[in-house]
């Protein structure tokens, strides 16, 4: 309810509510703002109106005052589980969203959504094939530099793929934020070693998985420098005896020549993509501007060690037979140019995670239930065991 009087701020005298000045001291009164009561809530503001001009068949103009249709209410949770926070990327046949998983301690996830209702019949077939390929491959992979698949689901107009949310940015965007158009040698060597680690894991699977799209835009970097290989939409399994791939897929400048239909892609195709990526990071020269005709790397990066220059030149050879035979050869050469402290740390990391990166005997062509990682032993249990062993020694 509203009070019957309007009180003066200067002398405190009660005045009629319609008074402009105080009757006692003559000061100007400040009207009180209208208050809202619980039994009479303020109405919501009406949607803005607009004039709609309609041209009748006999060319007489009519003017009609119309209201825009109300926006459809969004579901509170996607799949009754995911609270969508933001759109973080677009491309291909859909978009990627950042969301919170309300059924798993509000962990952050990335949801890749393919919008089927906006595609033609041919595009829908290609999008479906891309979706199933990424789902089928990632569901069977387990590596520290790969995102994990949590689940997938569909509705009337979308296909959804839920995976780890990587808090970072692609390498090409990271490069744009620094003062120089290229990265320091030691940082590029570290990037190369991380990528060699995950590519070596993929190539050792049976059958081997060929990523076919190694490029800065498909490599996520966290603020701490950890890398993740993303977007398995064009990855494929190697088929012995096959002369060529079904379709020529890949990114210009980073895709090997054989990806354009000449021969079947192999592990050496990924070596080419890795070489083009390292070339780009070291020189700032985009391979897409002069595909298969890159300037000699020593011309753009004269301080580069000769052995590294020779390695990158061989990785970018037009003929696959002239490239390194195995990603392990590339990894060893890069490791030789890493700092001694990095080499010891990297070797220790390889030993600790060897059991996690061991290749699986066979990758099924259906989507099996991912095998959970073995539970880590509790630190308390390890501490108690060490305590007992110390006591036994003392006895």
Q: How many helices (H) and strands (E) does the chain have?
A: 9, 14
More confident residue, 24 or 222: 222
- Tell me the HSE value of 64 on the side-chain side, using a 13 A CA sphere: 11
Supply the pLDDT for residue 285: 96
Cα(289)–Cα(200) distance, integer angstroms: 29
Is 3 in contact with 10 (CB distance < 8 Å)?
no
Residue 51, pLDDT > 70, answer no
Cα(193)–Cα(224) distance, integer angstroms: 16
- Domain final residue pick, 127, 148, 164: 164
Whether residue 173 is found in the same domain as residue 271 = yes
Return the closest-CA partner of residue 279 out of 309, 302, 249, 259: 309
Residue 14, pLDDT > 60, answer yes
Which residues, listed in sequence order, are joined to residue 6 by a DSSP beta bridge? 15
- Domain final residue pick, 103, 129, 164: 164
Q: What is the dihedral of CA 183, 186, 188, 191, to 10 degrees?
A: -130
Supply the pLDDT for residue 379: 39
Supply the pLDDT for residue 263: 77
Query: Considering the entire predicted model, what is its pTM?
Result: 0.69
For residue 19, what pLDDT band results from cuts at 50, 70 and 90? confident
Q: Which two tokens stand for residue 385?
A: 């065991």
More confident residue, 164 or 250: 164
Is 393 within a domain? no
Mind listing the pLDDT tens digit for each residue in 269-281? 999 999 999 999 9
Query: SS3 for 7?
Result: strand
Supply the pLDDT for residue 99: 97
Is 380 within a domain? no
More confident residue, 342 or 315: 315
Is 175 in contact with 281 (CB distance < 8 Å)?
yes
Supply the pLDDT for residue 39: 39
Residue 357, pLDDT > 90, answer no
- Domain final residue pick, 121, 139, 164: 164
Is 46 within a domain? no
Residue 292, pLDDT > 70, answer yes
Q: Structural domain of residue 224, as residue ranges? A: 169-352
Residue 144, pLDDT > 90, answer yes
More confident residue, 2 or 97: 97
Least confident of 25-29, 31-35, 52-56, 264-268: 31-35
Supply the pLDDT for residue 164: 96
Is 273 in contact with 288 (CB distance < 8 Å)?
no
In Å, the largest CA–CA distance within the chain is 110
Cα(113)–Cα(94) distance, integer angstroms: 5
DSSP state of 218: G
Cα(256)–Cα(292) distance, integer angstroms: 8
Is 193 in contact with 334 (CB distance < 8 Å)?
yes
Mind listing the pLDDT tens digit for each residue in 313-322? 999 999 999 9
Highest mean pLDDT among 6-20, 144-158, 227-241, 329-343: 144-158
Whether residue 130 is found in the same domain as residue 152 = yes
Supply the pLDDT for residue 363: 40
Mind listing the pLDDT tens digit for each residue in 96-109? 999 999 999 999 99
Residue 90, pLDDT > 60, answer yes
Whether residue 228 is found in the same domain as residue 286 = yes
Which residues, listed in sequence order, are joined to residue 152 by a DSSP beta bridge? 161
Q: What CATH number does residue 156 fall under?
A: 3.30.200.20
| Number of domains within the chain | 3
Cα(192)–Cα(317) distance, integer angstroms: 18
Supply the pLDDT for residue 27: 78
What is the rounded average pLDDT of the residues 133-145?
A: 92
DSSP state of 177: T
Whether residue 141 is found in the same domain as residue 185 = no
Whether residue 138 is found in the same domain as residue 175 = no
Is 371 within a domain? no
Is 143 in contact with 356 (CB distance < 8 Å)?
yes
Task: Give CA separation, 364 vs 235, 315, 381, in Å.
Answer: 15, 31, 37
Q: What CATH number does residue 222 fall under?
A: 1.10.510.10
Cα(211)–Cα(208) distance, integer angstroms: 10
For residue 378, what pLDDT band results from cuts at 50, 70 and 90? very low
Residue 238, pLDDT > 70, answer no
Is 151 in contact with 164 (CB distance < 8 Å)?
no
Residue 366, pLDDT > 60, answer no
Is 73 within a domain? no
Return the closest-CA partner of residue 264 out of 236, 242, 235: 242
Is 249 within a domain? yes
Residue 389, pLDDT > 70, answer no
Which residues, listed in sequence order, are joined to residue 82 by a DSSP beta bridge? 78, 101
Least confident of 180-194, 233-247, 284-298: 233-247
Least confident of 154-163, 335-344, 375-384: 375-384
Whether residue 255 is found in the same domain as residue 286 = yes
More confident residue, 270 or 261: 270
Residue 137, pLDDT > 60, answer yes
What is the rounded average pLDDT of the residues 59-85?
A: 69
More confident residue, 224 or 89: 224
**Crossing angle for the helix pair 267-283 and 185-204, to the nearest 10 degrees:** 170
Whether residue 294 is found in the same domain as residue 326 = yes
Supply the pLDDT for residue 107: 97
Cα(148)–Cα(150) distance, integer angstroms: 6
Q: Is 33 exposed, middle or buried (0-12, 13-18, 19+ CB in 10 A)?
A: exposed
Return the closest-CA partner of residue 81 out of 109, 103, 49: 103
Is 161 in contact with 112 (CB distance < 8 Å)?
yes
* Whether the bond into 147 is cis, omega within 30 of 0: no
């Amino acid at each position: 309810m509203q009070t019957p009087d309007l009180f003066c701020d200067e002398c405190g005298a009660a005045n009629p509510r319609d008074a402009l000045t105080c009757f006692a001291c003559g000061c100007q009164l400040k009207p009180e703002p209208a208050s809202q009561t619980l039994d009479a809530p303020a109405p919501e503001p009406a949607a803005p109106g607009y004039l709609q001009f309609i041209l009748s068949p006999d060319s007489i103009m009519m003017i009609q005052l119309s209201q825009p249709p109300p926006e459809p209410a969004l579901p509170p949770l996607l799949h009754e589980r995911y609270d969508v926070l933001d759109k973080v990327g677009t491309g291909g046949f859909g978009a990627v969203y950042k969301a919170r998983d309300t059924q798993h301690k509000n962990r952050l996830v990335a949801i890749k959504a393919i919008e089927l209702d906006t595609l033609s019949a041919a595009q829908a077939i290609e999008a479906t094939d891309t979706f199933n390929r990424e789902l089928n491959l990632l569901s069977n992979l387990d590596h520290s530099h790969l995102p994990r698949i949590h689940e997938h689901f569909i509705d009337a107009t979308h296909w959804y793929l839920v995976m780890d949310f990587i808090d970072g940015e692609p390498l090409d965007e990271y490069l744009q934020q620094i003062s120089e158009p290229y990265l320091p040698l030691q940082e590029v060597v570290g990037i190369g070693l991380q990528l060699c680690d995950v590519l070596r894991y993929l190539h050792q699977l049976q059958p081997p998985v060929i990523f076919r799209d190694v490029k800065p835009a498909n490599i996520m970097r966290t603020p701490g420098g950890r890398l993740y290989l993303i977007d398995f939409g064009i990855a494929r399994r190697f088929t012995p005896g096959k002369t060529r791939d079904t379709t020529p897929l890949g990114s210009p400048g980073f895709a090997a020549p054989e990806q354009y239909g000449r021969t079947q892609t192999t592990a050496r195709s990924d070596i080419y993509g890795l070489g083009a990526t390292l070339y780009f990071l070291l020189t700032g020269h985009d391979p897409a501007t002069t595909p298969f005709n890159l300037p000699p790397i020593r011309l753009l990066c004269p301080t580069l060690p000769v052995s590294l220059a020779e390695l990158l030149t061989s990785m970018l050879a037009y003929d696959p037979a002239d490239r390194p035979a195995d990603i392990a050869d590339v990894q060893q050469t890069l490791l030789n140019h890493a700092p001694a402290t990095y080499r010891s740390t990297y070797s220790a990391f390889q030993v600790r995670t060897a059991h996690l990166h061991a290749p699986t005997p066979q990758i099924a062509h259906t989507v099996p239930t991912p095998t959970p990682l073995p539970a880590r032993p509790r630190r308390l249990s390890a501490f108690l065991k060490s305590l007992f062993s110390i006591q036994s020694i003392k006895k």
